[in-house]
Amino acid sequence: MRRRTLLALPALAVVAGCDPDGAEAGGELRIATGSPGAVYYRYGSAIAELCKKYLPNVHASVLTTAASEINVRNVLDDVADVAFTQADVTDSHEKAQPRQLAALARLYDDHIHVVVAAQGPIAQLHDLQGRRVSIGGVGSGTAITARRVLSVSGIEVHEAQYGLDDSVRGLRNGDVEAFFFSGGLPVSAIADLAREFPIRLLNLADPVKALRSQWGDYYAERVVPASTYTGITATVAIGIANYLVVRMTMSEPLAYGVTRLLFEGRDELAKAHQAAARLNIRSAISTPPLALHPGAIKYYRAQKA
Protein backbone atom coordinates (compact mmCIF):
# COMPACT_ATOMS: atom_id res chain seq x y z
CA MET A 1 0.00 0.00 0.00
CA ARG A 2 1.39 3.37 -1.01
CA ARG A 3 1.52 5.65 2.00
CA ARG A 4 -0.12 9.05 1.63
CA THR A 5 -0.20 12.01 3.95
CA LEU A 6 -2.50 14.98 4.17
CA LEU A 7 0.19 17.39 3.07
CA ALA A 8 0.98 15.24 0.04
CA LEU A 9 -2.51 15.61 -1.35
CA PRO A 10 -3.00 19.10 -2.83
CA ALA A 11 -6.75 18.67 -3.18
CA LEU A 12 -7.34 17.18 0.24
CA ALA A 13 -8.88 20.32 1.67
CA VAL A 14 -11.67 19.72 -0.82
CA VAL A 15 -11.92 15.93 -0.89
CA ALA A 16 -10.81 14.76 2.57
CA GLY A 17 -14.39 14.55 3.75
CA CYS A 18 -15.64 12.67 0.70
CA ASP A 19 -16.02 8.92 0.83
CA PRO A 20 -15.27 6.78 -2.27
CA ASP A 21 -18.84 7.33 -3.48
CA GLY A 22 -18.37 11.10 -3.42
CA ALA A 23 -20.59 11.79 -0.38
CA GLU A 24 -19.25 14.70 1.64
CA ALA A 25 -18.76 14.86 5.42
CA GLY A 26 -20.41 17.70 7.25
CA GLY A 27 -22.03 18.76 10.49
CA GLU A 28 -21.00 19.09 14.10
CA LEU A 29 -18.21 17.02 15.65
CA ARG A 30 -18.00 17.36 19.42
CA ILE A 31 -14.89 15.48 20.58
CA ALA A 32 -14.97 14.17 24.17
CA THR A 33 -11.39 14.00 25.43
CA GLY A 34 -9.99 14.21 28.98
CA SER A 35 -8.14 16.57 31.28
CA PRO A 36 -5.72 19.14 29.77
CA GLY A 37 -2.62 17.36 31.13
CA ALA A 38 -3.50 14.04 29.51
CA VAL A 39 -3.12 12.40 26.10
CA TYR A 40 -6.81 12.32 25.18
CA TYR A 41 -7.06 16.10 25.35
CA ARG A 42 -3.94 16.76 23.28
CA TYR A 43 -4.82 14.12 20.69
CA GLY A 44 -8.43 15.28 20.48
CA SER A 45 -7.46 18.93 20.19
CA ALA A 46 -5.14 18.07 17.31
CA ILE A 47 -7.94 16.17 15.55
CA ALA A 48 -10.18 19.22 15.92
CA GLU A 49 -7.51 21.45 14.38
CA LEU A 50 -7.06 19.10 11.41
CA CYS A 51 -10.82 19.02 10.91
CA LYS A 52 -10.79 22.81 10.65
CA LYS A 53 -8.04 22.63 8.02
CA TYR A 54 -9.14 19.67 5.93
CA LEU A 55 -12.84 19.03 6.59
CA PRO A 56 -14.29 22.48 5.88
CA ASN A 57 -17.91 21.45 6.37
CA VAL A 58 -17.26 19.82 9.75
CA HIS A 59 -17.50 22.08 12.79
CA ALA A 60 -15.21 20.45 15.36
CA SER A 61 -15.00 21.34 19.04
CA VAL A 62 -13.28 19.79 22.06
CA LEU A 63 -14.98 18.78 25.30
CA THR A 64 -12.82 18.57 28.44
CA THR A 65 -14.05 15.66 30.57
CA ALA A 66 -13.06 13.14 33.24
CA ALA A 67 -12.35 10.79 30.29
CA SER A 68 -13.43 7.25 29.35
CA GLU A 69 -16.60 6.43 31.29
CA ILE A 70 -18.18 9.87 31.02
CA ASN A 71 -17.04 10.06 27.39
CA VAL A 72 -19.00 6.94 26.47
CA ARG A 73 -22.05 8.24 28.30
CA ASN A 74 -21.72 11.57 26.50
CA VAL A 75 -21.72 9.84 23.11
CA LEU A 76 -24.72 7.66 23.98
CA ASP A 77 -26.59 10.71 25.34
CA ASP A 78 -25.75 12.83 22.25
CA VAL A 79 -23.66 15.26 24.28
CA ALA A 80 -20.61 14.31 22.19
CA ASP A 81 -20.25 12.87 18.70
CA VAL A 82 -16.90 11.12 19.02
CA ALA A 83 -14.94 10.10 22.10
CA PHE A 84 -11.73 8.60 23.38
CA THR A 85 -12.23 5.65 25.71
CA GLN A 86 -10.50 2.62 27.16
CA ALA A 87 -11.57 -0.71 25.67
CA ASP A 88 -12.57 -2.18 29.03
CA VAL A 89 -15.00 0.67 29.67
CA THR A 90 -16.98 -0.13 26.51
CA ASP A 91 -17.76 -3.68 27.62
CA SER A 92 -20.57 -2.96 30.09
CA HIS A 93 -22.14 -0.40 27.75
CA GLU A 94 -22.13 -2.81 24.82
CA LYS A 95 -23.82 -5.46 26.96
CA ALA A 96 -26.46 -3.01 28.20
CA GLN A 97 -27.08 -1.26 24.85
CA PRO A 98 -25.87 -3.52 22.02
CA ARG A 99 -24.73 -1.86 18.79
CA GLN A 100 -25.44 1.68 19.94
CA LEU A 101 -21.70 2.41 19.95
CA ALA A 102 -19.27 1.82 17.10
CA ALA A 103 -15.52 2.22 16.81
CA LEU A 104 -13.56 4.16 14.22
CA ALA A 105 -10.18 2.77 15.28
CA ARG A 106 -8.06 1.25 17.96
CA LEU A 107 -5.60 4.10 18.53
CA TYR A 108 -2.86 3.14 20.99
CA ASP A 109 -2.42 1.41 24.35
CA ASP A 110 -2.78 3.15 27.68
CA HIS A 111 -0.48 2.27 30.56
CA ILE A 112 -1.96 2.13 34.04
CA HIS A 113 0.39 4.06 36.32
CA VAL A 114 0.46 3.89 40.10
CA VAL A 115 2.61 6.83 41.16
CA VAL A 116 4.13 7.29 44.64
CA ALA A 117 6.86 9.41 46.19
CA ALA A 118 10.27 7.87 45.55
CA GLN A 119 11.41 8.50 49.12
CA GLY A 120 8.17 7.30 50.73
CA PRO A 121 7.31 3.97 52.39
CA ILE A 122 5.33 2.51 49.47
CA ALA A 123 7.46 0.13 47.42
CA GLN A 124 4.93 -2.38 46.09
CA LEU A 125 1.22 -2.57 45.36
CA HIS A 126 0.23 -4.22 48.66
CA ASP A 127 1.82 -1.32 50.54
CA LEU A 128 -1.25 0.70 49.49
CA GLN A 129 -3.36 -1.18 52.04
CA GLY A 130 -5.15 1.29 54.32
CA ARG A 131 -3.59 4.37 52.70
CA ARG A 132 -5.24 7.36 51.04
CA VAL A 133 -5.08 6.84 47.29
CA SER A 134 -6.52 8.79 44.38
CA ILE A 135 -8.14 6.25 42.08
CA GLY A 136 -8.97 8.76 39.33
CA GLY A 137 -11.70 11.26 38.69
CA VAL A 138 -15.43 10.55 38.86
CA GLY A 139 -16.51 9.19 35.48
CA SER A 140 -13.01 8.19 34.42
CA GLY A 141 -11.81 4.90 33.02
CA THR A 142 -8.91 5.15 35.44
CA ALA A 143 -11.30 4.82 38.40
CA ILE A 144 -12.94 1.72 36.92
CA THR A 145 -9.62 0.02 36.28
CA ALA A 146 -8.11 1.11 39.61
CA ARG A 147 -11.01 -0.44 41.53
CA ARG A 148 -10.60 -3.65 39.57
CA VAL A 149 -6.85 -3.76 40.27
CA LEU A 150 -7.40 -3.20 43.98
CA SER A 151 -10.24 -5.72 44.13
CA VAL A 152 -8.37 -8.60 42.49
CA SER A 153 -5.36 -7.79 44.69
CA GLY A 154 -7.39 -7.86 47.92
CA ILE A 155 -6.34 -4.31 48.81
CA GLU A 156 -8.55 -1.79 50.59
CA VAL A 157 -7.67 1.90 50.48
CA HIS A 158 -9.16 5.20 51.54
CA GLU A 159 -10.34 6.48 48.17
CA ALA A 160 -9.96 9.98 46.84
CA GLN A 161 -11.43 10.64 43.40
CA TYR A 162 -9.22 13.26 41.85
CA GLY A 163 -8.49 14.01 38.24
CA LEU A 164 -4.91 14.01 37.05
CA ASP A 165 -3.97 17.57 38.00
CA ASP A 166 -5.44 17.26 41.50
CA SER A 167 -3.81 13.84 41.94
CA VAL A 168 -0.42 15.35 41.11
CA ARG A 169 -0.99 18.19 43.56
CA GLY A 170 -2.25 15.77 46.19
CA LEU A 171 0.88 13.61 45.99
CA ARG A 172 3.13 16.64 46.25
CA ASN A 173 1.36 18.13 49.27
CA GLY A 174 0.72 14.84 51.08
CA ASP A 175 -3.06 14.77 50.63
CA VAL A 176 -2.69 11.35 48.98
CA GLU A 177 0.13 8.81 49.19
CA ALA A 178 -0.40 7.38 45.72
CA PHE A 179 -2.47 7.91 42.62
CA PHE A 180 -3.63 5.82 39.69
CA PHE A 181 -3.69 7.18 36.17
CA SER A 182 -4.26 5.54 32.80
CA GLY A 183 -2.60 7.24 29.86
CA GLY A 184 -0.39 6.88 26.82
CA LEU A 185 3.32 7.34 27.27
CA PRO A 186 4.51 9.79 28.29
CA VAL A 187 1.80 11.49 30.35
CA SER A 188 2.97 15.10 30.32
CA ALA A 189 1.64 15.97 33.78
CA ILE A 190 3.50 13.00 35.29
CA ALA A 191 6.65 13.89 33.35
CA ASP A 192 6.45 17.44 34.72
CA LEU A 193 5.98 16.10 38.24
CA ALA A 194 8.95 13.73 37.97
CA ARG A 195 11.31 16.55 36.98
CA GLU A 196 10.56 18.41 40.22
CA PHE A 197 9.43 15.72 42.68
CA PRO A 198 11.09 12.28 42.74
CA ILE A 199 8.56 9.55 41.96
CA ARG A 200 8.38 5.79 41.81
CA LEU A 201 6.03 3.67 39.69
CA LEU A 202 4.68 0.52 41.31
CA ASN A 203 5.08 -2.82 39.54
CA LEU A 204 1.69 -4.10 38.36
CA ALA A 205 2.62 -7.53 37.00
CA ASP A 206 0.75 -9.48 39.70
CA PRO A 207 -2.86 -8.38 39.02
CA VAL A 208 -2.83 -8.90 35.24
CA LYS A 209 -3.77 -12.58 35.17
CA ALA A 210 -6.62 -12.09 37.65
CA LEU A 211 -7.90 -9.07 35.73
CA ARG A 212 -7.99 -11.06 32.50
CA SER A 213 -9.73 -13.98 34.20
CA GLN A 214 -12.43 -11.83 35.79
CA TRP A 215 -12.94 -9.02 33.27
CA GLY A 216 -11.70 -10.29 29.91
CA ASP A 217 -8.68 -10.01 27.66
CA TYR A 218 -8.58 -6.22 27.69
CA TYR A 219 -5.54 -6.20 29.96
CA ALA A 220 -1.92 -7.06 29.19
CA GLU A 221 1.51 -6.57 30.70
CA ARG A 222 3.31 -3.54 29.34
CA VAL A 223 6.60 -1.93 30.36
CA VAL A 224 7.10 1.75 31.10
CA PRO A 225 10.71 2.29 29.94
CA ALA A 226 13.15 3.95 32.33
CA SER A 227 13.56 6.81 29.86
CA THR A 228 9.87 7.76 30.11
CA TYR A 229 10.10 9.79 33.33
CA THR A 230 13.00 11.30 35.23
CA GLY A 231 14.39 9.05 37.94
CA ILE A 232 12.32 5.89 37.40
CA THR A 233 13.43 2.37 36.58
CA ALA A 234 11.72 0.26 33.90
CA THR A 235 8.45 -0.86 35.46
CA VAL A 236 5.72 -3.34 34.50
CA ALA A 237 2.39 -1.59 34.00
CA ILE A 238 -1.01 -2.74 32.77
CA GLY A 239 -1.81 -2.04 29.15
CA ILE A 240 -5.31 -1.27 27.87
CA ALA A 241 -6.27 -0.41 24.30
CA ASN A 242 -7.85 2.95 23.53
CA TYR A 243 -10.59 3.39 20.96
CA LEU A 244 -12.13 6.32 19.16
CA VAL A 245 -15.88 5.68 19.35
CA VAL A 246 -19.04 7.18 17.87
CA ARG A 247 -22.75 6.39 17.73
CA MET A 248 -23.62 3.74 15.18
CA THR A 249 -26.00 6.31 13.66
CA MET A 250 -23.20 8.72 12.64
CA SER A 251 -23.32 9.35 8.90
CA GLU A 252 -21.02 7.17 6.81
CA PRO A 253 -19.30 10.14 5.11
CA LEU A 254 -18.44 11.75 8.46
CA ALA A 255 -17.16 8.49 9.96
CA TYR A 256 -15.14 7.85 6.79
CA GLY A 257 -13.71 11.38 6.82
CA VAL A 258 -12.61 11.26 10.46
CA THR A 259 -11.08 7.80 10.03
CA ARG A 260 -9.17 8.96 6.97
CA LEU A 261 -8.01 12.03 8.88
CA LEU A 262 -6.56 9.83 11.65
CA PHE A 263 -4.33 7.97 9.23
CA GLU A 264 -3.45 10.54 6.61
CA GLY A 265 -2.95 13.20 9.27
CA ARG A 266 -0.96 10.92 11.54
CA ASP A 267 2.30 12.86 11.18
CA GLU A 268 0.60 16.13 12.09
CA LEU A 269 -1.31 14.54 14.97
CA ALA A 270 1.92 13.06 16.33
CA LYS A 271 3.29 16.58 16.77
CA ALA A 272 0.63 17.07 19.46
CA HIS A 273 1.44 13.76 21.14
CA GLN A 274 3.60 10.85 20.06
CA ALA A 275 0.78 8.39 20.89
CA ALA A 276 -0.77 9.35 17.54
CA ALA A 277 2.26 7.90 15.76
CA ARG A 278 1.37 4.44 17.14
CA LEU A 279 -1.78 4.21 15.03
CA ASN A 280 -1.42 1.14 12.83
CA ILE A 281 -3.90 0.10 10.19
CA ARG A 282 -3.58 -3.60 11.03
CA SER A 283 -4.30 -3.20 14.73
CA ALA A 284 -6.78 -0.34 14.26
CA ILE A 285 -9.49 -2.70 12.99
CA SER A 286 -9.46 -4.80 16.18
CA THR A 287 -11.96 -3.12 18.52
CA PRO A 288 -13.72 -5.78 20.65
CA PRO A 289 -16.42 -5.73 21.92
CA LEU A 290 -17.43 -2.97 19.52
CA ALA A 291 -18.13 -3.30 15.82
CA LEU A 292 -16.45 -0.90 13.44
CA HIS A 293 -18.66 1.85 12.03
CA PRO A 294 -19.61 1.23 8.36
CA GLY A 295 -17.85 4.46 7.39
CA ALA A 296 -14.64 3.25 9.02
CA ILE A 297 -15.02 -0.14 7.33
CA LYS A 298 -15.31 1.65 3.98
CA TYR A 299 -11.99 3.42 4.64
CA TYR A 300 -10.20 0.22 5.71
CA ARG A 301 -11.49 -1.70 2.70
CA ALA A 302 -10.24 1.06 0.42
CA GLN A 303 -6.79 0.57 2.00
CA LYS A 304 -7.12 -3.23 1.69
CA ALA A 305 -6.65 -3.53 5.47
Radius of gyration of the chain from its Cα atoms, rounded to whole angstroms: 19
Question: Which candidate, 53, 51, 100, places its Cα nearest to that of 73?
Answer: 100
Which pLDDT score, from 0 to 100, does residue 134 have?
A: 99
Confidence band of 8 (pLDDT split at 50, 70, 90)? very low
Which pLDDT score, from 0 to 100, does residue 305 have?
A: 67
Which pLDDT score, from 0 to 100, does residue 17 have?
A: 56
Q: What is the pLDDT of residues 233-288, one digit of tens each?
A: 999 999 999 999 999 999 999 999 999 999 999 999 999 999 999 999 999 999 99
Which pLDDT score, from 0 to 100, does residue 19 have?
A: 60
Confidence band of 18 (pLDDT split at 50, 70, 90)? low
Question: Which candidate, 241, 248, 243, 301, places its Cα nearest to that of 102?
Answer: 248
Q: What is the pLDDT of residues 100-122, one digit of tens each?
A: 999 999 999 999 999 999 999 99
Confidence band of 36 (pLDDT split at 50, 70, 90)? confident
Say which residue, 19 or 185, is predicted with more confidence: 185
Looking at residue 102, what DSSP letter applies? E
Confidence band of 25 (pLDDT split at 50, 70, 90)? confident
Confidence band of 24 (pLDDT split at 50, 70, 90)? confident
Q: What is the pLDDT of residues 43-82, one digit of tens each?
A: 999 999 999 999 999 999 999 998 999 999 999 999 999 9
Say which residue, 25 or 202, is predicted with more confidence: 202
Which pLDDT score, from 0 to 100, does residue 204 have?
A: 98
- Domains contained in the chain, CATH given: 25-108+242-302 (3.40.190.10), 110-240 (3.40.190.10)
Confidence band of 5 (pLDDT split at 50, 70, 90)? very low
